[in-house]
């Protein structure tokens, strides 16, 4: 399950298929290389250092 926070700060749990989990893990490796290995709280971030979330 993935916790998604949306408009109005509402939270939803979304089921994930195994292939989606693998794709997210791959993306995290690519994003870590892009940001210089700095940890970030965002899955998709707008800046190289992971300081801001990607906007809607």
* Tens-place pLDDT, residues 4-25: 888 888 999 999 999 999 999 9
Query: 47 or 30, which is more confident?
Result: 30
Give the pLDDT band (50/70/90) at residue 47. low
Q: Rounded to two decimals, what is the model's pTM?
A: 0.60
pLDDT tens column, 24-46: 999 888 877 877 777 777 777 76
Q: What is the three-class DSSP state of 2?
A: strand
Question: Which backbone phi and psi does 54 adopt, to 5 degrees?
Answer: -65, 135
Q: Where are the domains of the chain?
A: 1-56
CA distances from 52 to 15, 21, 35 (A): 25, 23, 12
Contact between 46 and 56 under an 8 Å Cβ cutoff? The reply is no
pLDDT at 18: 95
The H or E element spanning position 12 is: strand 11-14
Contact between 5 and 13 under an 8 Å Cβ cutoff? The reply is no
């Amino acid at each position: 399950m993935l916790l998604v926070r949306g408009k109005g700060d509402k939270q939803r749990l979304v089921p994930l298929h195994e292939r989606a989990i693998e794709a997210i893990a791959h993306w995290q490796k690519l994003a870590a290389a892009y940001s210089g290995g700095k940890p970030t709280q965002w899955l998709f971030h707008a800046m190289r250092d992971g300081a801001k979330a990607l906007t809607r």
